[in-house]
A and B are shown apart, each in its own frame.
Chain A
């Protein structure tokens, strides 16, 4: 399968956390690096995130957290993506993520975890790798 020319990224803030300075900077930074970015804003329920991911046919979903609900909420979003038949879209997570939670996030299928101080160009590069790997993988049955 060929790599799409422009990577489409969905960024979302699940739950009640509204610390969004970081995700806004990431949105602008990924845009500057040539990606198409859709930012949902705050108070996103998992089903809505999955629906937007499906409708917009994005290549990756990025979830941003500060409040500490990241493992449970991310699990919910991954489940919702599977329910709309797009469990193949890789999910990445960023924000204040304690070390102890990085492994549990990988265990539920998160493709990348980015803490404070990660340079945006590094995240962009990682997204390109993740998207490439995902599109190389055999398509999953819906």
Chain B
């Protein structure tokens, strides 16, 4: 390797410049396609952002539901907008909720409300959505293993307010598969997880047809340390498994594909992170058309939510993050994303402050209105470099997907820890680049300002009293409800799971009978058991 060699972040060797010859391997007629036409590599809408700019879907959530309700209203006042100007609220749940534990569970102690909103019951959902019109709202429910339970509570809330279920719009991430090696929760075993995920997708395809019910969370894979190739390759393999699982429950591949949405990271390699998204749309379109034989090609449009890479932010000199984030927002826009979460510059330190969140919203607005990017679909299309890099990423991602199949498929890869081990190794090798100084992180391993480090300042912390309030509420709820009805609902869940019957309707009934989320999760776990995690550390040297 000479000093003059250059590579993308994932390690693709780069030429000093590119020409038309670098992407001329296929015929003129085949590519580059038109925006809004298969293979959709140039974007899923012909008009790009002319018809509608990206949805601003800023993850928010902490403390008691009424606190998060206040923050969501603040975001709305600051200008956050959903699709076609609707209100938008994108919710992060606290670790106990994510893990399926009520606030009074012994393991939840000292974690209640720390990094997400506390939800134990339908009453909490009522507090969370107060004053938001459920029939005119883009809601994001960022919750995976517990996704079906939270979705059931959301449907129960709509029912309680007389809002037709088919008016509900949004996304529940509902993807325990990525969760098994990324965010990790106390999880049902792989096969049961897949079935319960598909059960939610199938139910909602009927009841809430405007709701996306599975997010392929490639972003979390990247945050764990994957490179762009693994981010796309592993997750398209998982998406393919989701479609197969839905088909097992009697859905058409078109129906399942329409319910899926993707989340990609926009991180520290401008062109590679744009091109990987173009490659992902192309591969996905081909899988659906060639492998699953879908009839309506619009079902092959890969819908994307983008997040600026939290892992690229530094706790040191946090104001520098504003520059990083703004560049990543430009990347997301150029990749043709449908929605976006823009990180706040202090996210490496804790829950963002109102001020930092305001800067994030305004960063999105500045890119939307002050750069001209939204005027033309896929403005990078046809660039020698961009098209050549898209092709190369596509080739490498397909190799990764083939390797997963060769190992025996996604379930085997999950059970054996394959994804996590591969990612841990990538992360280890990359970290070595930074430790040796071959890669530069401004303010961390170069250009450091020893005196101005603000690492460790408390930026925001939920009040310690919230935990006590949440515990009291859930205990009170359990004590005061109709016990006979609640127990009957819990038994009905167990029976549906045992008999492989649709279980989502049982969750909805249970939510209405004031059964808590922890109780629903326990009911399922008593039938299907729990997945055992093994500790994995990098095994390359």
Measuring CB to CB, which residues of chain A are less than 8 angstroms from any residue of chain B? Answer: 15-18, 20-21, 24-25, 27-28, 31-32, 37, 39-43, 45, 67-69, 72-73, 96-100, 102, 115-117, 119-120
Contact = CB atoms under 8 A, between A and B. Distances in A.
B316 A117 contact: yes
Nearest to B540: A28
A72 B350 contact: no
Contacts of A119: 435
A16 B457 contact: no
B294 interface: no
A99 B458 contact: yes
Given A16-B95, A68-B461, A27 B537 contact: yes
Interface in B322-368: 348-350
A102 B458 CA distance: 11
Contacts of B109: 72
Contacts of A67: 95, 111, 114-115
B315 A16 contact: no
14 contacts: A17-B111, A21-B224, A25-B431, A37-B537, A67-B111, A67-B114, A69-B111, A73-B110, A98-B350, A99-B458, A100-B458, A116-B455, A117-B314, A117-B315
- Which residue of A67, A72, A73 has the most chain B CB atoms within 10 A of its CB atom? A67
B79 to A, nearest CB: 29
Contacts of A102: 456
A99 B110 contact: no
Given A16-B108, A41-B535, A99 B95 contact: no
Given A24-B537, A115-B455, A15 B315 contact: no
A18 to B, nearest CB: 4
Contacts, number: 104
B533 interface: yes
Interface of B: 95-96, 98-99, 101, 107-111, 114-115, 183-186, 223-225, 311, 314-316, 348-350, 424, 427-428, 431, 435, 444, 455-458, 461, 533-538, 541
Given A16-B111, A67-B115, A96 B444 contact: no
Contacts of B101: 16
Given A21-B427, A42-B184, A43-B186, A15 B111 contact: yes
B538 A116 contact: no
Nearest to A70: B110
Contact of A97 (B314, B348, B456): B456
A120 B536 CA distance: 18
B95 A17 contact: yes
A117 B110 CA distance: 26
Given A43-B186, A99-B458, A117 B533 contact: no
- Which residue of B314, B435, B534 has the most chain A CB atoms within 10 A of its CB atom? B435
A24 B95 CA distance: 20
B350 A40 contact: no
Given A16-B111, A27-B538, A28-B538, 19 more contacts: A15-B111, A16-B108, A21-B223, A25-B427, A25-B428, A25-B431, A28-B537, A37-B537, A41-B533, A42-B184, A67-B95, A67-B111, A69-B110, A96-B350, A98-B457, A99-B458, A115-B455, A116-B314, A116-B316
A32 B541 contact: yes
